Amino acid sequence: MKCEQVMELMDDFLDSELPPDSCDHLQEHLAHCRSCSSTLHSFQSLKSQAASLPQTITPQRDLWPEIANRLIVADLPRQFHKFKSDQRKPNWRRAVRFWPWIAAAALCCTLCLFFSMRPGSRQRGGETAKLSNGPETGKIVPDQNKKEIPAALALPNGTWQKRVKPGMGLKPESLEYDPGYRSYFYAVSTKLDPSNHLISSRVLRFEPDGTVSSWEPALPSDMGPVYSVYPGPGGRLWLSCQTVDTRSAVFFEGNFGDDDPPKELGRLNGSFISQIAVGPQGSIYALGVRNDLLSSVRALARGQSITADIIHVLDPKSGRLNNLMPVTFEPNYAIDNWQRQLDFEMLNMPNDIRISFRSNGNFILSIPPEHSNFSGLRALAGKEAMEYSPDGQAVRKLDPGILETGACIGNIFVDIDDSLLLEVAYSDASKKPNMKSGTLAYRYFLRMNRTGALSRIGELVPTDETIVGWIGETREMVTRVNAAKQGMMEIRFRKLPI
Amino acid sequence: MNPSQAAVAKLAGAEEDVSDLVEKARSGDHGAFEVLYRSHVGRVYALCLRIFADRSKAEDLTQQIFIRVWMKLGSFRGESSFGSWLFRVSMNVVLNELKSEEARERRTAPAEEASELVSAREVPSNLQLDLESAIAVLPRQARTIFILHEIEGFSHEEIAAALGVAIGTCKAQLSRARRLLREALERP
């Protein structure tokens, strides 16, 4: 046997996989070849050294705290499946037991539907509320199972809801909670004609005793719809409007119910403001979409992205503005809806960015998932948010670690102890993520304290509710449910156990 | 005493049976799972660090493995020991990551990895330090096969099946690894 042949067989020999006859030949060669013998010895030494390497190596840092945080998230699928099965499991035995009642109820519904469809039935009922200038009571559909809504300004504990039907084709939108008063909710309701021309634009005020008031601000004639309303300091309301030609955004300040025209604060040409937020000391932050509304809509419909700016209104009196940072909105599924029906609600324009403020004036920004770019089952974007200083400088990234596939951070609320409540929206992996159509499976909340530690709070929140605000004092999440076709809005207060 | 110390004390006492801990962890007890984590993290981390020769990657993968183990606890039937089951899960995660990494074709400069690896470890002797650093600079496939065969004790058949390569390839890569290591260790 030659040295080259020995080298070829060396590995099998080391691994004890060499047939006995080859083994004999090899050992015979090794007995008189010092070079091959030395090579074998070094390989054997290497093998024994490798086998004696330590089986364990301790990480230089403790990985457990991060794992513990991630376990909170990892627990969710189990809870989700339980949640889903609890929600969907029909109780057939019970249904059979009560079938006569069910049949009677169905008959009643049919009769009601029949009579309601007869000509003149709406007028006879006299239940449809009319909204006009000044305070007026809208229609409140009483919640059968809940306690009486107290007249006191403070919101009651527990879960309750109201349904408001403003009538006259007005659809309440963009509900805002008044944190200063802890009593009112404001919504904008806009009525457009079939060509999308503005007929009326009103601000609705919901009060805890169940009344709804409306205010149609006396805006200049070149003004189109009120796009957003936000309770500002001193009980005044901040409005953002757009001009009829949609080429300018205008800020106003006014008192609810005033006949006097609201005061113009500033005007931004070449873009429209889709949302405003009033921070500490009355500073205004706004989301301004570059370009006019129709161009933006057309761009989205063509599959192009559009850009908006987070704007800090430096001086409302002079209308001095400062663009802090650009935000890009990708076209997405909602455009399909728009192509079928020219309905501004379905445009999915960027109007759901929520800016939350810390006590030091820093603001937190996250972009909800419906504005994130995704396709099919790819994980949603937006798994982190940023905290900015009042002048728009990034302070830190708010990253809860790796969320499960399909999950993303939606709204972020600041609690009274300055910790953050991160809304995590979680999609059902078998469906295309779509928060607006309700195919997102559920949401939950993570509390992030100052050190970045996470804890899961509350219960799963159904996805048909849009989260409006968080009331730290009473630990309640305020949500709204829009039933656009009926022009209805429900407001729910969901007490979250901490 | 913080939770980690408590977990270690619990572990040192060794009064709690592993199966009890697994049962508690299965029912959602994070404390019980922490004890299991602390008793097995060294083995898992060693595998990840040796295969990837990258400390931060090894840390991230170790976390992923324990999250995976937590989520799969329900499927652990106790037919094998918890340690071997956990190591099997670890192997699957590591091999999947290797495959994705191969697909991404983003292997970084090996020399830098070696120094990182050496600085990241506590090894008992200079000899082992040399061997560890020499293993770290091996080509990826040769390194993986050497570690699985010579350190973890897997057979060529098992490695070939796990990596989806022929047994011949596996043997050739092991041979290559041995020769490269011998050269590296004998270099003055």
pLDDT digits (tens, 9 = 90+) for A296-310: 666 766 667 777 777
Mutate to test the interface with A, among B35, B117, B150, B173 (most CBs of A within 10 A): B150
- The per-residue pLDDT for A174 is 61
Cβ neighbours of residue A331 closer than 8 Å, sequence gap 6 or more: A299, A300, A301, A302, A303, A304, A305
Residue A278 main-chain phi, psi, to 5 deg: -110, 120
Res A61 pLDDT > 70: yes
CB contact under 8 A, B131 and A77: no
From chain A, pick out residues whose CB is under 8 angstroms from the CB of B146: 50
From chain B, pick out residues whose CB is under 8 angstroms from the CB of A40: none
Q: What is the pLDDT of residues A451-498, one digit of tens each?
A: 778 887 755 555 566 677 777 666 777 777 665 545 566 667 766 665
Distance CA B95, CA B54 (A): 15
If you average pLDDT over residues A386-391, what whole number do you get? 78
From chain A, pick out residues whose CB is under 8 angstroms from the CB of B56: none
- The per-residue pLDDT for A191 is 66
Distance CA A273, CA A250 (A): 8
Mutate to test the interface with B, among A43, A52, A63 (most CBs of B within 10 A): A63
Which range marks the domain in which residue A398 is found?
64-83+352-463
Selected residue with higher pLDDT from B144 and A272: B144
- The per-residue pLDDT for A67 is 84
Give A252's pLDDT tier (boundaries 50, 70, 90): confident
Res A413 pLDDT > 50: yes
Q: Is residue A147 part of a domain?
A: no
If you average pLDDT over residues B99-120, what whole number do you get? 51
Of A471-475, B56-60, B154-158, which range is least confident? A471-475
- The per-residue pLDDT for B44 is 95
How many domains is chain A partitioned into structurally? Answer: 1
Q: Does A336 touch chain B (CB under 8 A)?
A: no
Q: Does B162 touch chain A (CB under 8 A)?
A: no
Of A285-289, A409-413, A426-430, B100-104, which range is least confident? A426-430
If you average pLDDT over residues A269-293, what whole number do you get? 66
Selected residue with higher pLDDT from A326 and A220: A220
Rounded to the nearest integer, the mean pLDDT of chain B is 79
If you average pLDDT over residues B129-138, what whole number do you get? 85
Q: Is residue A414 part of a domain?
A: yes
Give B175's pLDDT tier (boundaries 50, 70, 90): very high
Give A340's pLDDT tier (boundaries 50, 70, 90): very low
Rounded to the nearest integer, the mean pLDDT of chain A is 63
Q: Is residue A250 part of a domain?
A: no
Nearest to B63 among A10, A57, A67 (CB): A67
- The per-residue pLDDT for B48 is 94
- The per-residue pLDDT for A280 is 60
CB contact under 8 A, A11 and B132: no
From chain A, pick out residues whose CB is under 8 angstroms from the CB of B151: 50-51, 53
- The per-residue pLDDT for B7 is 46
Q: Does A16 touch chain B (CB under 8 A)?
A: no
Nearest to A49 among B43, B121, B131 (CB): B131
User: A409 forms bridges with which residues in the sheet?
Assistant: A424
Q: What is the pLDDT of residues A196-217, one digit of tens each?
A: 456 677 787 776 666 677 888 8
Q: A75: nearest CA in chain B?
A: B71
Helix (H, G, I), strand (E, B) or coil at A411: strand
From chain B, pick out residues whose CB is under 8 angstroms from the CB of A60: 55, 120
DSSP string, B93-110: HHHHHHHHHHHHT----H
Q: Is residue A369 part of a domain?
A: yes
User: A385 forms bridges with which residues in the sheet?
Assistant: A398
Q: Is residue A407 part of a domain?
A: yes
Res A319 pLDDT > 90: no
Give A156's pLDDT tier (boundaries 50, 70, 90): very low
| H/E stretch holding A129 | none
Chain A residues 72-101 within an 8 A CB cutoff of chain B: 74-75, 77
Domains and CATH numbers, chain B: 1-106 (1.10.1740.10), 109-188 (1.10.10.10)
Q: Is residue A451 part of a domain?
A: yes
* Torsion of the alpha carbons at A37, A38, A41 and A45, rounded to the nearest 10: -170
Q: A265-279, B39-53, B66-80, B117-131: which has the highest mean pLDDT?
A: B39-53
- Three-state secondary structure readout of chain A: CCHHHHHHHHHHHHCCCCCHHHHHHHHHHHHHCHHHHHHHHHHHHHHHHHHCCCCCCCCCCCCHHHHHHHHHHHCHHHHHHHHHHHHHCCCHHHHHHCHHHHHHHHHHHHHHHHHHCCCCHHHHHCCCCCCCCCCCCCEEECCCCCCCCCCCCCCCCCCCEEEEECCCCCEEEEEEECCCCCCCEEEEEEEECCCCCEEEEEEEEECCCCCEEEECCCCCCCEEEEEEEEECHHHCEEEEEEECCCCEEEEEEECCCCCCCCEEEEEEECEEEEEEEECHHHCEEEEEEEECHHHHHHHHHCCCCEEEEEEEEEECCCCEEEEEEEEEECCCCHHHHHHHCCCHHHHCCCCCCEEEECCCCCEEEECCHHHCCCCCCCCCCCCCEEEECCCCCEEEEECCCCCCCCEEEEEEEECCCCCEEEEEEEECCCCCCCCCCCCEEEEEEEEECCCCCEEEEEEEECCCCEEEEEECCCCEEEEEEEEHHHCEEEEEEEECCC
In angstroms, what CA-CA distances link A249 with A181, A348, A426?
28, 19, 35
Residue A432's identity, in one-letter code, is K
Q: Is residue A374 part of a domain?
A: yes
CB contact under 8 A, A64 and B4: yes
What percent of chain A has a predicted confidence (pLDDT) above 90?
1
From chain B, pick out residues whose CB is under 8 angstroms from the CB of A54: 46, 123-124, 128
Res B75 pLDDT > 50: yes
- The per-residue pLDDT for A335 is 34
Q: Is residue A424 part of a domain?
A: yes
Answer whether A405's CB lies under 8 Å from A76's CB: no
